[in-house]
């Protein structure tokens, strides 16, 4: 191989490496699917009632991730999908907490009613 042929081969190798580096990254794996499933789970957990802001943030990030993926901006799509998944998990956790607090409040109210009834019953028994 002559020296000019070697230079051409090196130039081609460098050009190929440059083009490979500049090409689009691969599409996000299942990040969009995970984010979508987490969003559905959050909705089912009661996020529209107990965590509407977090749910809205998750929906917005997922929409942005899908738009970025459509533009073949896969790095941003993966990052936005991950943010959506985390926001959805937070919304689901806040929903579970909200439901637990509502249950505690209900039981506290029932306990207070039973205590009042017991007090009235014991007062009635003392009068007899």
Q: pLDDT above 70 covers what percent of the chain?
A: 76
Is 15 a member of any domain? Answer: no
CA distance 67 to 77: 8
More confident residue, 107 or 19: 107
Q: Is 60 exceeded by the pLDDT of residue 16?
A: no
Q: Structural domain of residue 57, as residue ranges?
A: 25-127
pLDDT band at 34 (very low <50, low <70, confident <90, very high): very high
Is 14 a member of any domain? Answer: no
Is 33 a member of any domain? Answer: yes
Longest alpha-carbon distance in the chain: 120
Residue 48's CATH number:
1.20.1270.390
Looking at residue 127, the DSSP 8-state letter turns out to be H
Q: What is the pTM of this model?
A: 0.69
Contacts 24+ apart (CB under 8 A), 85-89: 85/31, 85/34, 85/35, 85/38, 85/58, 87/54, 87/55, 87/57, 87/58, 87/61, 88/35, 88/38, 88/39, 88/41, 88/42, 88/47, 88/54, 88/55, 88/58, 89/38, 89/42
CA distance 74 to 31: 11
CA distance 59 to 48: 11
Is 35 a member of any domain? Answer: yes
Split into its structural domains, the chain has a count of 1
Is 4 a member of any domain? Answer: no
Number of other CB atoms surrounding residue 89 within 10 Å: 16
């Amino acid at each position: 191989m002559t020296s000019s042929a070697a230079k051409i081969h090196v130039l081609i190798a460098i050009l190929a490496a440059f083009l490979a580096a500049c090409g689009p990254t691969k599409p996000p794996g299942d990040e969009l699917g995970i984010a979508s499933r987490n969003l559905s789970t959050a909705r089912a957990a009661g996020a529209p009632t107990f965590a509407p802001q977090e749910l809205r943030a998750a929906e917005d990030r997922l929409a942005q991730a899908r738009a970025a993926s459509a533009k073949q901006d896969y790095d941003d799509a993966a990052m936005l999908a991950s943010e959506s998944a985390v926001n959805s998990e937070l919304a689901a956790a806040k929903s579970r907490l909200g439901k637990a607090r509502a249950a505690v409040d209900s039981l506290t109210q029932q306990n207070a009613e039973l205590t009042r009834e017991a007090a009235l019953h014991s007062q009635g028994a003392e009068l007899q």
